[in-house]
Structure 1
């Protein structure tokens, strides 16, 4: 446990450094220096680096406590359901189950299926939501900076990746907790 609390934040610092380094290199070059494929790969890497900063820290510490507990209470259930349906988050959830959480042992790490496991499940949803929300916000700030440096296509790719990689998970976690709140 102690090793995790040291190594994971160190890996987060490494990813933060790589993120700054990549942004600095992009700002010091021109978009026309890169092919469309390279721009897509750079946008994917940058989004993964930034998301990883928050993910690895969240694996070691209760980062969700950086936001007030009231944030995690779903107040507008109609809006949450409408977003869930309109954005087809249910399909996204099926993809996650198919590719990442399909094996029962993987899912049991998140929720053991028992009523006593609800507390752990709620904790995991808060951790996940905080990491994805913070990543979403920081990535969109980086997108704005890069657009000012004429990286519109990279900004578009990063925004699309960010929507599916961070916004959808935030909405999914809120939907999970909304359903649990009524128990």
Structure 2
């Protein structure tokens, strides 16, 4: 990733066609998201942010925004592509009460990773704008929204649903 940034900083945006620009945008967002995902697998990264960050202050607004943005379609895509198998789902929730606690932990881990990546990619975009990489930044932003903002909203929606179950008991 660092080498790719050096190349971008030392060259002009006009040197790259759309295909290469898209490829660079995909690689940069993948690298940054991957770094934070790896940290989330290795360490309890959800503790980096205060507990207040994870508290859902207005779940109704979250649900409304998620509905407008079509987060349910993103969720369906994830179910088809990855979470559709029981084996993959059981890693995060085994159907028990303690499984709910683990699932909450996993949503926070995932949310932190996507939040940190969202911020990191946004900072990188700000660095690239003055250098004229407008197309790259637009593509990175679209990928960042789909690859990081949508998962953040989805993790929060999971906790809204879980909080209803926990209250009902």
Please indicate the TM-score interval, normalised by the length of the shorter structure.
over 0.9
TM-score (norm 2): 0.95
Measured after TM superposition, the shift of residue 105 of structure 1 is 0.2
Aligned to 1:86: 68
Aligned to 2:18: 36
Distance, in Å, in 2 between the alignment partners of 1:120 and 1:62 is 12
Distance, in Å, in 2 between the alignment partners of 1:110 and 1:97 is 14
Distance, in Å, in 2 between the alignment partners of 1:73 and 1:178 is 10
Structure 1, residues 124-173: CA drift from partner, whole Å, max 9, x if none? 00000000000001101101111110000000000000000000000000
Measured after TM superposition, the shift of residue 25 of structure 1 is 1.2
Aligned to 2:160: 178
Distance, in Å, in 1 between the alignment partners of 2:29 and 2:51 is 27
Tell me the number of residue pairs that the alignment of Structure 1 and Structure 2 aligns: 165
Instruction: Verify: 1:72 aligned to 2:54, yes or no.
Output: yes
Structure 1, residues 30-56: CA drift from partner, whole Å, max 9, x if none? 111111000000000000000111011
Which of 129, 132, 154 in structure 2 is aligned with 1:147? 129
Structure 1, residues 79-138: CA drift from partner, whole Å, max 9, x if none? 111111101111100000000111110011011122220010000000000000000011
Distance, in Å, in 2 between the alignment partners of 1:176 and 1:108 is 15
Distance, in Å, in 1 between the alignment partners of 2:134 and 2:128 is 7
Measured after TM superposition, the shift of residue 20 of structure 1 is 2.3
Give me the CA root mean square deviation. 0.8
Which of 121, 126, 144 in structure 1 is aligned with 2:108? 126
Structure with higher RCO (Cα < 8 A, 6+ apart): 2
